[in-house]
Amino acid sequence: MSSQNQLSVLHNFKGILFSTMSSKELLNSLDSFDAREDDVFLVSYPKSGTHWVAEVIENIPNAGITLTSPIEFGDISKFEELKAYSKRRVIPTHLNYDMLPVNVKQKQCKIIYIVRNPKDTAVSLFHYYRDNPNLPCVETWAAFFELFLRGDVVYGSWFDHILSWEEHKNDKDILIIFYEELKKDFAKSLKKITTFLDINVNDNEINKIASKTSFSEMKNNAVKENFDPNHTICALTADRNLVFRKGVVGDWINYFTSKQKRVFDELFTEKMKHSEVARHLKEFS
């Protein structure tokens, strides 16, 4: 991949690569964002299931919420746009903990952080790089794998991102949700989310939400609602067709060579040796 290609769609901000869809001016002004105490932030590293969880939350009946586009998507007019929402705002973002607006931390806004097996995340992000015109073109999985290991991808290193958030896992306003857990026991995970957000749902409603937000259902809806600018949940595209690919757990096995697996596992062990999240992820792998 030529560095020219990378430069045209990505820019470096504080040592992390961002899409040019997040203007430098906006990123520089994040700390001037005026959070409300009832704001909910939906956070993850890219390709970890943000869209899915956003759709799930949107389908909770009578929750009195509005899903906005990501806080880092666009230019400085973003704050005016967010101010216009009167209902409780659910704001998606892929920012690491340190870049989250200071006001959000001060007001102890509720934050849901979604974690996904990094091997599946890497494969999903590789396909995103290939399909999304707002990201550089990477020809091969082998080339992308090297970039991912170095953290030379959009939003930086997966390891650094997770660890920045895990450091705050005991804050009462932060809930960590695992993508794989959501797949395995949807009702239990949804209960965790609604309890955390102080929203009441009964079992019947949970079953309804489950069928409405199944992967195939969402993929179909994405085709219907495509390019709806009011339904942009990803800071890297407004094209919803690019967002839902397979949504399966364990697809990485079809991509990683045994050598890549070994290299990745060694790095994972070294970087995540004190991580509780890492131990939890191992239960799913």
Q: Taking Cα atoms as reference points, which of 134, 109, 171, 146 lies closest to residue 46?
A: 134
Find tokens 């690491």 and name the residue. 96
Selected catalytic residue, list 51, 94, 161, 231 = 94
Per-residue tokens: 71: 């806080």
Strand 88-93 to 110-115 pairing: unpaired
Query: Roughly how many angstroms between the first and final C-alpha of the chain, as a whole number?
Result: 31
Torsion 182-184-190-196 (CA) sign = negative
Sheet of 65-67: strand order equals 65-67, 88-93, 40-44, 110-115, 174-178
Residues in a beta bridge with 148: none
* Residue 168 annotated in active site: no
Q: Do residues 43 and 105 lie in contact, with contact meaning Cβ atoms separated by under 8 Å?
A: no
Q: Taking Cα atoms as reference points, which of 121, 73, 124 lies closest to residue 94?
A: 73
**Residue 113 C-beta-side C-alpha neighbours within 13 Å:** 24
Cα 215 to Cα 68, 109, 164, 191, 259, distances in angstroms: 21, 29, 29, 19, 32
What are the catalytic residues?
Answer: 94
